[in-house]
Chain A
Amino acid sequence: MAEKKLSKKALNKSFRNWYYGNLTCFSQEHMQTFGYLCAMLPLVEELYDTKEEQKEAMDTYTAFFNTEPQVGAMIVGITAGLEEAKANGNEDIDGEAINGIRAGLMGPIAGIGDSLVVGTLIPILLGIALGLSSGGSIAGPIFYIVAWNLIITFGMKFLYKKGYELGGKAVDFLVGEQATAIRESIVMLGTMVVGSVAATWVSVKTSFHLVNDAGKEFLNLQNQLDSVYPGCLTAAFVIFCWWLMAKKKVSPVVTMLVLVVIAFVGVLVGFFNPGLKY
């Protein structure tokens, strides 16, 4: 029996189906399962000739699947390689083994993807884009659209290919020591950029001031605070929100409501005053 090999065309089609369709039919019950089925279908159709074999292979991928879809392209690549090996009669690999690997990977990959792509790459790109869009310039959004789509499309393609070629070993790319060092440096870069985004774009200011009998101002709290550490009220609010959510396990929506209460009380006592007038 001739060795079965997936054609470039089928692999490309599988990648495209994942790239576009990973979340289009999302539900809370089966998050990315249908995206995965669509990504595997071109491969299964090429590897197996009879309907029965195809059905058996597809049944593997009906199991629940959810991960961070961009970095998750690697898992699709890995299963493409495994499915090919299975079709060539490798006894060690059956549907159950593939599902075991898949289920074992989706948690860690989701963690890496969420912190690296959503938590770091996107905020860095958006941070730069925000800097470029001051005064309403279109340079900002255009930069983000081009940079993000180029990086992530080539990145996903690379991860899919590596997954297919290296199989389970591909994961070393993401969790090996060198990969961890790279990841930590990027996260550090991202955290610094986010710090400057907070300083540039967020501005919590107090209007609290005291005047003496002659109507002369002798205390301006905002100026006092800024002479200690510029923007320290903004920083304090960020830390407060972080503390509520990370330490007190308060949801973001409730945190926002807490801010509404603080703002209301602050306005009443004259601590906050946005200085509105017509």
Chain B
Amino acid sequence: MTISWLQAIILGIFACLSSMPGMGGTTIGNYTLGRPLVAGLVCGIVLGDVQSGILVGAAMQVVYIALVTPGGTVSADVRAVSYIGIPLAMLAINSYGLDPASAKGIGMATSFGAMVGTLGTVLFYGTATINLVWQHVGWKAVEKGDFKKLYAVDMVLPWISHIICSFIPAVVMCKLGVPVVETIKTTLPMDGIAMKTLFTVGSMLPCVGIAILLKQVVDKAADFVPFFFGFTLAAGMGLNLVSVTVVAGMFAIIYYNLKMVGIKAKEAALASGGSLDDDDEEDI
């Protein structure tokens, strides 16, 4: 498998669209095209192997299932994960002759993705820094009352930042990828310590993604119970993800109804002139 200039250029354009802050906008760019699963489809179509693309994308998606960027701090850059990491992982898997659906294929894909994604944060800060120049142009325009220029500042000029920080890196990395992957292959044999470590790390990395998500929702030990409930349904009882969603949906409805009974009871008590002297009640 090789990547032609045309293929690299198409991947480069998608890198511009998909990053945070991407030119495809937040909803369509970052949260659709930037998700590794969707990018797997795109890379698969561009490189002519849709099935491997999706398998590699799905493997990486687990690592980045909750890419929350609170206050604009990033721990991994989606354009790098999705449009540099996936094509390179596809090349490597192909070159090593691995089955992308196997545990080894997944391990390879996730280690590649995490490596590129972490290095890619440089691209995020690069884009944001170059955007300062356009914002400076914007402030001048606001001062002069030349408001129409704001559209160019917000939606056109940042393309230049992206050509520098998304397009060129993606094209160069995808083109350089082939010889680099070949070099890695000859210098690091599959049964050596380095490759064993790489694949083991690859199988562990998704834990970080899941843990980032848990950090959001778990405050006390009891909050772990829904997580282990879902875990047990799949690992212990062998349900697939869609079935788990249905079961979880049932529990969510029960929880909601229980909560509402409490709220309604409180309202009823208030309406009947009940003397609830709880201070919290005042703001209803």
Contact = CB atoms under 8 A, between A and B. Distances in A.
B interface bracket (residues with beta carbon within 8 Å of A):
35 or more
B70 A34 contact: no
Given A229-B236, A266-B200, A256 B21 contact: no
Contacts of B244: 192-193, 196
Interface in B33-55: 35, 37-38, 40-41, 50-55
B54 A276 contact: no
Nearest to A139: B54
A131 B54 CA distance: 12
Q: Tell me whether chain B's interface is mostly helix, strand or loop, or mixed.
A: helix
Interface string B42-76: 00000000111111011101100111111110011
B196 A189 contact: no
Contacts of B134: 25
B37 A20 contact: no
Interface residues of A, number: 122
Interface stretch (B2-10, B169-177, B203-211): B203-211
B199 A196 contact: no
B215 A199 contact: no
A232 to B, nearest CB: 9
Interface in B70-111: 70-72, 75-76, 97, 100-101, 103-104, 107
A37 B26 contact: no
Contact of B54 (A118, A137, A192): A137
Contacts of B104: 274-276
Contact of B155 (A24, A45, A59): A24
B208 A255 contact: yes
Contacts of A108: none
Given A55-B145, A141-B57, A276-B196, A192 B37 contact: no
A152 B32 CA distance: 11
Contacts of A90: none
A148 B135 contact: no
22 contacts: A23-B26, A24-B23, A24-B154, A25-B131, A25-B154, A115-B216, A118-B68, A123-B66, A133-B54, A136-B53, A136-B55, A141-B37, A181-B259, A186-B252, A191-B217, A191-B227, A230-B236, A237-B207, A239-B211, A267-B196, A275-B104, A276-B199
